[in-house]
Amino acid sequence: MHHEQFYTLTASCPDRVGIIARVSGFIAGLGGWILESSYHSDNDEQRYFMRMEIRAASLSCDAAGFRRQFAALAQELAMDWQLTDSAVKKRVVILVSKQEHCLYDLLARWQAKELDIEIPCVISNHETFRGFVEWHGIPFHHVPVTADNKPAAYAAISRLFEAARGDCMVLARYMQIIPPELCAALPGRILNIHHSFLPSFVGARPYHQAYQRGVKLIGATCHFVTPELDQGPIIEQDVIRIDHSDSVADMVRYGKDIEKAVLARGLRYFLEDRVLLHGNKTVVFR
């Protein structure tokens, strides 16, 4: 990560000759200094993906000016694109239930500035972590979720997210199913950590499912949330080896460590604009 201010340009478009030349030429025309660049061509879909970091001080315009001038080229190339500013911290709203490990890990990384973000609030369907969250100086909102109040509860969560001006919502072992309406309102902006190596063992109690199957590897998956349970585009995964002597409790204990690491990596990739959505897949420029 660079210590100076930079802009990150991410884009995807139909593949064709000369995309890099056109974009880098445009940046050079503004005096831009490219600090880092990554590209990927999807041969099956004939689609091109790119990510560039540009030194802000080298440009002859600010971010708004860049966006205005780049829009014509982007339209010509039929691009889906965005430009973000490293000086503007992303705002991450965390949702949690009664499992503490992912919440503790994210707040520790935030406090240590390993994750250079704003956490405007934490939302939970239980009161369990109010004291811990408020000790960090972060507002805590208790929104109970029951079989009878789900529409009202998720409407309240949506309002809290909007009031917090959230950039993304992180489900840090939030053990509730996000309704389709909220998924549709925040496409590619809700991240979840699932405690299995998807697509294996979706839904509840995946460690118990894995134990019953006698697997030799267990894992965790950070993915975007969609209306289909645990079927969203995958951002990051990892595994750990186990054997016949490990109990379900052992697997849960091992799994907590890998869940924390996978969620933190996946969130970091998202925050650094390294994740480009492509249907039900992602391109992740590490």
Q: Which residues are catalytically annotated?
A: 230
Residue reference for tokens 């991450």: 92
